[in-house]
Structure 1
Amino acid sequence: MTQPYVRPDVAALLEIANRPGAKRAVDVGLADARRMMHASRALFDAPVDELAVLREVAGGPCPMRLYDARSERAAGPVLVFYHGGGFVLGDLDTHEPLCAELARLTDLPVVSVGYRLAPEHPFPAAPDDAIAAARWVAASPGELGLETTGLVPSGDSAGGNLAIVTALALRDEPAAVPVLAQMPFYPASHPTRHYLSLDAFGEGYLLSRASMNWFDECYAPHRTDWRYDPLAKPLAGLPPTLVVTASLDPIRDQGRAFAAACEEAGVTVLLQECEGTIHGFLNLRKALPSAQIDLARAVAQLKLLLRRSVA
């Protein structure tokens, strides 16, 4: 059997992650799993450089944080970001480096959404918060301090699922401003179907099948609900879409399936598959310098979609 291509920086990280005795989220319990994700930021993620704006946003339906490379800006789009972590882990802090870098590279304000987590708040708390937060941002409330002309939902993994769900919800019941584009990173976009990438990469590539099963048990979703499985809902009418996947990801094929379904439904869609890298690479940019190139490429493609969307 041909071995898959693994980037050198990814191989070095996997060597550390796969050493005997290394613990996964499922191995340590909820509190320690959350502490491990916070520790991962310090060990493996890029630092947060200076931004003109980095502040908490009050008044919304859930905790939110605003990132902006400019201290003042005219009316324009806002990127609404949903963090990953299996709907169980992650928060505004774990994804701060990524959100800060997205604000710099996109030259858009980024609002990071701290939706409620399972198991304390099982499904559908996360999608309820995600959709409510987007509607709140779209209305340009005074607490946000921005005049929003359009939304760009984005997120990684579980957050990619929430970005897609939010775009679908606002397609069917529009917010105060339109959704101009969406950018899910390695999204959990078709979790009810078994794909071959789970068999190929479900062990030894950072995100494990066992951890994914644990996340699902905590989240306790209604498996026929489109807010869990977006491909259960027709996709026609979604905004221009950029799907970013990782070739060594157990949920890679979910992202591919979502991109294919978008194309079949007549949605403008781009699929960027990042060869030789793993799930979660955007939160590992210190350990994986190649991830910065992937992120810059994704942002360049998003800008192309936005230019087409507002033309």
Structure 2
Amino acid sequence: MTTTGRDPLAARPSAAPSAAEHSSAERPSAAQRFAAHPLREHLRDLDCLDETLAFNRAFERAASSRPARRAPLDPAVLALLRRNRLGGDTPPRRLPQARDRRLPGGVRVRVLNPGAPEGVLLHLHGGGWAFGSADGQDERLWELARRARLAVVSVDYRLAPEHPHPAGPEDCEAAARWLAEHAEAEFGTRRLLIGGESAGAHLAVLTLLRLRDGRGPVHAYRAAHLAFGPYDLAMTPSQRDFGDRPLLSNTRSLQGSYAMYSPGTGPEERRDPALSPLYADLAGLPPARLVVGTEDPLLDDSVLLARRWQDAGGTARLDVVAGAMHGFTLYPLTVTARERHRESGFLAAAGR
């Protein structure tokens, strides 16, 4: 992979004005501040902003009452958190319709196929490269598959810190190559899509780049769906400036995740396009939809990657959910229901 020779951060939009910049007498409402947001043409769901922000406040209060975790984590602590699904979340329900299989070479995948699919989504789960699994979203992925008339192949890639970079990207690339070769025989379709959330979105972009640069079947994948991914491991301004707000992800937690995923590297080394796709040549990649919330430390990552995708001659749609935090689609919110509808609509139509 090669860099473009230009600084992707140069295109960063100016930050939206905060309430703290005004006196109490003239302080605008949240809706008024969002009306002047530099990304307002991409903003979605302003009509349910009060609900979204209220959820954020409740989440912060609950998170502030728990001791903070520091990464890299002790292996015993890491194992415990994995067993407890990051500490207290209700374990997801595994669907009996899903089936696990091991691909040639050893990569494990989980297949969800409601029947008669018109395409196949290669799904890469999130979890900061250190948490999560292919069976962690059975219900959501089954509903997505049903709505978008797809089969879903979710990759159980190796996790850091036991298996740091490039183990995860290698597993995802292997699964992508297998699917490109066997989709028609296995599922009766050659229409392939790729997508993921958070670390999974990062891995989805790296997989496309690895296929392209390795003269692999990148054109077999007709679209990418990328939700709130970290595309600059050297840290975009929104990552650095977010601070310690306990909204699922923040500056400190991102730094810890990067240390586990790419140990022994500093900011300059993390600008390597093999680690940070924001610095890669993005030519030749399929159309993409990127989604992120305004209260996500990874906001700049999606904004800048969408611009770079377009600058490279590709098609990129950017949707910014007003008031939403990182990983908001994990929670029962109005914006979650709407985003799932937009996601399934994009994937149902993409690449036809």
Residue aligning to 2:200: 159
The 1:15/1:238 distance shift into structure 2, 3 A limit, reads same
Q: Give me the whole-angstrom Cα distance separating, in 2, the residues matched to 1:176 and 1:228.
A: 19
Any conservation in 2 of the 1:79–1:152 contact (CA below 8 Å)? Answer: yes
Any conservation in 1 of the 2:278–2:301 contact (CA below 8 Å)? Answer: no
Q: Give me the whole-angstrom Cα distance separating, in 2, the residues matched to 1:139 and 1:228.
A: 26
Q: Residue 19 of structure 2 aligns to which amino acid in structure 1?
A: T
1:303 maps to 2:348: yes
Q: CA deviation at 1:176?
A: 8.7
Q: CA deviation at 1:23?
A: 4.1
Match of 2:191 among 135, 144, 150: 150
Q: Give me the whole-angstrom Cα distance separating, in 1, the residues matched to 2:245 and 2:19.
A: 17
Q: CA deviation at 1:40?
A: 5.2
Post-superposition CA distance 1:243-263 (Å, at most 9, x none): 111111111111111011111
Any conservation in 1 of the 2:193–2:347 contact (CA below 8 Å)? Answer: no
1:283 maps to 2:323: no
Aligned pairs for 1:161-240 (under 5 A) are 161-172=202-213, 173-175=215-217, 178-200=220-242, 202-220=244-262, 223-240=270-287
The 1:21/1:193 distance shift into structure 2, 3 A limit, reads closer
Q: Residue 127 of structure 1 aligns to which amino acid in structure 2?
A: P
The 1:80/1:41 distance shift into structure 2, 3 A limit, reads farther
Q: Residue 242 of structure 1 aligns to which amino acid in structure 2?
A: R
Q: CA deviation at 1:117?
A: 0.6
Q: Residue 196 of structure 2 aligns to which amino acid in structure 1?
A: G
Any conservation in 1 of the 2:190–2:220 contact (CA below 8 Å)? Answer: yes
Any conservation in 2 of the 1:138–1:150 contact (CA below 8 Å)? Answer: no
Of 129-138 and 273-282, deviating more is 273-282
Match of 2:63 among 14, 17, 20: 17
Q: CA deviation at 1:59?
A: 2.9
Post-superposition CA distance 1:110-160 (Å, at most 9, x none): 110000011111110000001111111111179x83234032110111110
Residue aligning to 1:256: 303
Aligned length: 296
Unaligned runs of 5+ in 1: none
1:42 maps to 2:59: no
Of 115-124 and 161-170, deviating more is 161-170
Residue aligning to 1:78: 120
Q: Residue 122 of structure 1 aligns to which amino acid in structure 2?
A: P
Residue aligning to 2:99: 55
Any conservation in 2 of the 1:138–1:175 contact (CA below 8 Å)? Answer: yes
Residue aligning to 1:30: 78
Post-superposition CA distance 1:165-224 (Å, at most 9, x none): 112222332329711000111011122243135413652322122221221111126624
Q: Give me the whole-angstrom Cα distance separating, in 2, the residues matched to 1:97 and 1:15.
A: 28
The 1:165/1:2 distance shift into structure 2, 3 A limit, reads same
Residue aligning to 1:2: 19
Any conservation in 1 of the 2:229–2:302 contact (CA below 8 Å)? Answer: yes
Match of 1:103 among 145, 148, 166: 145
Q: Residue 9 of structure 1 aligns to which amino acid in structure 2?
A: F
SS of match in other structure, 1:180: strand
Q: Percent identity?
A: 30
Unaligned runs of 5+ in 2: 1-17, 21-29, 31-48, 264-268
Any conservation in 2 of the 1:153–1:181 contact (CA below 8 Å)? Answer: yes
Any conservation in 2 of the 1:153–1:166 contact (CA below 8 Å)? Answer: no
Match of 2:169 among 127, 152, 171: 127
1:66 maps to 2:66: no
Any conservation in 1 of the 2:293–2:299 contact (CA below 8 Å)? Answer: yes
Q: CA deviation at 1:241?
A: 0.5
Q: Give me the whole-angstrom Cα distance separating, in 2, the residues matched to 1:206 and 1:234.
A: 31
SS of match in other structure, 1:253: helix
User: What is the alpha-carbon root mean square deviation over aligned residues?
Assistant: 2.7
